[in-house]
Amino acid sequence: MTSFLDILLYIQIALCAPCLYRIIRGPTIPDRMVGIDIFGILVVGICGIITVQTGKAFILDIGIAWVILSFIGTLTLAKYLSGKKLNE
Amino acid sequence: MRYVTIFILSLVFWLLITFKFTVPDIAAGAVASAITAAIFGRYYFHNVYKFLQPRRWFWFVVYLVTFIWACIKANFDVAYRVLHPAMPIRPGIVKVKTTLRSDFAKTLLANSITMTPGTITVDIIGDDIYIHWIYIRSEDPAQYTSMVTGRFEEYIKKFAE
Amino acid sequence: MAAIILISIGVIFNIFGCIGLIRLPDMYNRLQAATKCVTLGCCSILVGVMVHYGLGGAGFRALVAIPILFFTATVAAHALVRGAYHFGTKMDERSVKDDYMEAVK
């Protein structure tokens, strides 16, 4: 059972590769930002699986904080894209 | 009254997150919730008595079940389009009219549209919602309006207006 | 055991989302596929965590994380697609309709 969880964890970590591919290769700037946004959501899944695997509940708190910080980061990038100041 | 509502919601959220019921924890949560309520209380919940009507909670549960079912359907839709060798896509941005009035209801409708099969909200200008659709099924505005907003609009109108 | 099944379903959905991120032709379609699949996949993983712990401390934490994830993911996608349109990202040549163009001008 634990080894199966290990496999799931490795798959979930390997899924960061398409996001990195999109960040490095993406033809335009918005493509790269899509990569960053999806990367932020995937990390929450990694935190969830590590929580079940190790039994330490505080890792889930890292996931929650990561969601909110990634949300703020994406909003800032979107503001930059639409060419507005940050206080609008 | 709305300060009290946002204070109670923040405190419940704090207790769910920490899940320790000793006196120092609850005191810290109460102080944090009071600061939150003092700063942000002006912006939300213009009519808090809506929280006390059971009819609205019933329609909220119906909306939630429909929403989760639409999410699961959306995932299989995306999986089909991604895994099909020819990628059957026909994207475009369409304009849909809504009859909802309040900002909160419009936000909920936009979020629901984002999670339903094949659609994502681009912008809301007045009563018009602009939607990017991955496979436009029909050209007739009345037909695609009912396809996109579906039953969400009537449910949201029943519990959030 | 139910927790393992839910986590597996979540990981499979994440795989679909990441395939979409690579294969689809333009930015709007990629964002659409990836946001939907990855958000529901991570929610499924968190439901698995909740089932594994029961309704104790960590279970409630996972339950609180689910609505936060839904709201932030949808609002971030909305802001990103709007910003990309104003930035001037071209849509794919297979696109058939663009009603937003008149509204922006």
For residues B122 and A30, what is the distance between their CA atoms, to the nearest angstrom? 14
| Nearest residue of chain B to residue C83 (CA atoms) | B122
Domain ranges of chain A: 2-81
Give SS3 for B120.
strand
Distance from CA of A48 to the nearest CA of C (A): 6
Per-residue pLDDT tens digits for C32-71: 888 888 888 999 999 998 898 887 777 888 888 888 888 8
Total tally of structural domains belonging to chain C: 1
A8 vs C: CB within 8 A: yes
Q: What is the mean pLDDT of chain B?
A: 82
Residues of C in contact with B70 (CB under 8 A): none
**Which tens digit of pLDDT belongs to each residue from B120-160?**
888 888 888 888 888 877 777 777 777 777 777 888 887 77
Band of residue B81 on the pLDDT scale cut at 50, 70, 90? confident
Mean pLDDT value across chain C:
84
* Res. C89 pLDDT band, cuts 50 70 90: confident
Predicted confidence band of residue B31 (pLDDT cuts 50, 70, 90):
very high
Supply A8's token pair.
């799931």
In chain A, which residue's Cα lies nearest the Cα of C13?
A12
Nearest CA to C75 out of B45, B88, B107 is that of B107
Q: What's the pLDDT at A69? A: 92
A37 CB-near residues (< 8 Å, 6+ apart): A70, A74, C31, C35, C76, C77, C80
Instruction: Show which of residues 22-51 on chain C sit within 8 Å of chain B, judged by CB atoms.
Output: 23-26, 28-29, 31-33, 35-37, 39-40
Nearest to C38 among A38, A60, A77 (CB): A38
Using 50, 70 and 90 to split pLDDT, how confident is the model at C98?
Answer: confident
With tokens 């071209």, the residue in question is C90
Q: What proportion of chain B, given as a percentage, has pLDDT over 90?
A: 4
Nearest to A20 by CA among A49, A45, A50, A43: A43
Q: Give which of A71, A85, A87 is closest to A36, Cα–Cα.
A: A71
Look up the ipTM and state it: 0.85
Pick the residue from chain C with its C-alpha nearest to B64: C67
Q: Is the pLDDT of residue B82 over 90?
A: no
Residue B46: its pLDDT value, please?
66
Q: Which pLDDT score is estimated for B107? A: 84
Say how far apart CA A47 and CA A43 lie, in whole Å.
Answer: 6
* Token pair of B97 as six digits: 């009219």
Nearest by Cα to B156 from B66, B49, B96: B66
How would you list the strands of the sheet with C97-98, edge to edge?
B119-125, B128-133, B92-97, C97-98
Taking the Cβ of residue C79 and every Cβ of chain A, the question of whether any pair is shorter than 8 Å is answered with yes
Report whether pLDDT(A11) > 70.
Answer: yes
Domain hosting C42: range is 2-104
**A34-43, A74-83, C48-57, C80-89: range with highest mean pLDDT:** A34-43
Which of the four pLDDT bands, split at 50, 70 and 90, describes residue A2?
A: low
How far is the C-alpha of B116 from the C-alpha of B96, rounded, in Å?
A: 15
Contact B122 C36 (CB under 8 A): no
Q: What six digits make up the tokens of C103? A: 């509204």
- Say if residue A88's pLDDT is above 60: no
- pLDDT score at C53: 86
Closest approach of B32 to chain C, Cα-based (Å): 18
Q: What is the pLDDT of residue B48?
A: 66
Question: Which residue stretches of chain B are H helix?
Answer: 2-18, 23-40, 54-83, 103-115, 141-149, 152-160
Q: How far apart are CA C57 and CA C59, in angstroms?
A: 5
Among the partner residues B13, B115, B123, nearest to C74 by beta-carbon distance? B115
Two tokens at A51? 């929580």
CB-CB under 8 Å, B75 with C13:
yes
